[in-house]
Structure 1
Amino acid sequence: MRTRARVQPRLTRDLGLLAVTAMLLAGCGVSAEDRPRVIDRPGGPHPVGTSPAAQPTGQLTETICFVRDEQLVRVDRQVSDAATPVDQIRFLADGPTSAEREAGLSTALTGASRITGVRLVGREALVDVADGLVDTGRTDEMLAFGQVVCTLTARPDVDGVSFLHDSRRLGVPRADGSLSTGPLTVSDYPVHR
C-alpha cells in the first residue's frame, strides 16, 4: 500500500505538469486566419551571413619576380584566378607586361622550354629543367634560378624550391656563387621591391 500511495501523487503531479506545458505551447505561435494575406518585405539591406566576401574577379595579387639592372625585383600582378605553380612559371617565361617593361623590368628566363615541369611535394616545389638552363655559368643563369625561387616561394604553400635535371637534384647557383641542390629559399637571392 505504501508504494501505491507514493505513485499516485507523482503521477498526478506529472500529468499536471504535462497539461500546463501543453496549454503554454498552445498559446504560442501565430493564430490561424480565415484567408491568406500578403506580407510586405521589410526594406533595407539585410546581411545574409558573417563570412567574408570573395574577392572580385581580377583582384587577386600574384607576386612575380623579374630582373632590373641585374637584380631580382618583386612585382605584384593582378590576376583573375589564383595561379598554380605552372601558371607562375608561364608568367615568368612570358616575361613582363608592356607596362612592366617600361618600368625597366626584364626576365632572365628566355623560353618555357627550359623549364619542363613543376610540381609540389609537401611544401617543396620541384622544378624540372632542360639542358638549356644547365651549366651556362652566366649571371643570368643565377638570375633565372632566382626568379623561379623568388616567385614560387612567394606562394603560401611553398617553403623551398629544388631543381631537377634527368630526375636528379641539380646544383644551381645561389647569389653568393655557391652551388646548392636545394631546397632554395628567397634568402638565397637578394630581392628588391
Structure 2
Amino acid sequence: MTTRAGRLVAALLSCLLGAACGLPAEDEPRKAELPRRPLTSPAATTAGTEPPGEVVEVLCLVRDGRIVQAVRRVSAPPTVQRQLETLAAGPTEAERANGLTTALAATTLRVDVPAGSTEAQVEVAETDESNARSDETLAYGQIVCTLTSRADVNSVVFTRGGDVLQVPRADGSLSRGPLGAGDYADLIAPA
C-alpha cells in the first residue's frame, strides 16, 4: 500500500508543480509582438531608417561570395515582379554597411508565374557580352533563392526570347531548370 500511496502523492505533486509554472491562465489569445528589425541581424537597426511594415520581404544578397538572406519589412506583400525589381535594385545603404552586395549588375528581368503554377519564368534581357561577370552563378542563385523564398513559388526557369536558357548551378553544371534553392545550397551562407 505504501508504494501505491507514494505514487499517488508523487503524481499529485507533479500536477501541482506543473500548474504552478508561474504563467497565469488567460481567456483570450495574446497578440505576439514581432521584432521590428531584420530577423537575420543580431543588432537592432537605427530607428527611422525604414518604416516598420506588416510583412517581410526576403531578398538574397551576397556577402563574401556567399548568398545571404536579407529580410526587409514592407507594408504589403510584394508581387513576384516587385520583389524581383527590389532584388535587382541591390542592397540598401544599411545593408551595404553590413557588408552585403549583389551580383546582379544592371540586369533587366521580367517574371511571370502562370495561373495555377508555382514555377516562376524569369525572362532575362539580352546582355552585353563585354560586361560578362565571373559571378554569374551567384546572380542566378540570388534570383532563385529570392523567388523560392515565397510561398507561391517553388521553382524558377530562365528564358530569353521565349527559349529556356541553360544557367549555371552551384556545382558548375548547366541546367535548363526548373531550379530551386537546393541547386545553390553550396553557395548559401549558414544562418
TM-score bracket for the superposition, by shorter chain length: 0.5 to 0.7
Q: 1:66 aligns with which of 61, 76, 89?
A: 61
Q: 1:157-186 deviations in whole A, cap 9, x for unaligned?
A: 111000001101100000100000011000
Superposition RMSD on alpha carbons, in Å?
A: 2.7
Q: 2:111 aligns with which of 114, 118, 136?
A: 118
Q: TM-score, normalised by structure 2?
A: 0.67
Q: TM-score, normalised by structure 1?
A: 0.66
Is the aligned partner of 1:100 residue 2:106?
Answer: no
Is the aligned partner of 1:83 residue 2:78?
Answer: yes
Q: 1:43-89 deviations in whole A, cap 9, x for unaligned?
A: xxxx9xx9x99x9x712111110001111111111111101111111
> Does the aligned pair in 2 maintain the 1:175–1:189 contact within 8 Å?
yes
Distance 2:124 2:103 in 1: 14
Tell me the amino acid that sits aligned with residue 120 of structure 1. Answer: V
Distance 1:144 1:112 in 2: 10
Q: 1:187 aligns with which of 161, 167, 182?
A: 182
Q: How high is the sequence identity, in percent, across the aligned residues?
A: 46
Larger Rg: 1
For residue 155 of structure 1, give the secondary structure of its aligned residue in structure 2.
Answer: coil
Distance 1:60 1:133 in 2: 36
> Does the aligned pair in 2 maintain the 1:90–1:112 contact within 8 Å?
no
Distance 1:133 1:66 in 2: 23
For residue 131 of structure 1, give the secondary structure of its aligned residue in structure 2.
Answer: coil
> Does the aligned pair in 1 maintain the 2:107–2:125 contact within 8 Å?
no
With over 3 angstroms needed to count, the CA separation of the structure-2 counterparts of 1:136 and 1:170, relative to structure 1, is farther
When you count helix as a share of all residues, which structure comes out higher? 1
Tell me the amino acid that sits aligned with residue 97 of structure 2. Answer: E
Q: Which runs of 4+ in 1 moved over 2 A?
A: 133-139
Tell me the amino acid that sits aligned with residue 103 of structure 1. Answer: N
Counterpart of 2:173 in structure 1 is: 178
Counterpart of 1:109 in structure 2 is: 104
Distance 1:134 1:177 in 2: 20
Listed as ranges, the gaps of 5+ residues in structure 1 are 1-46
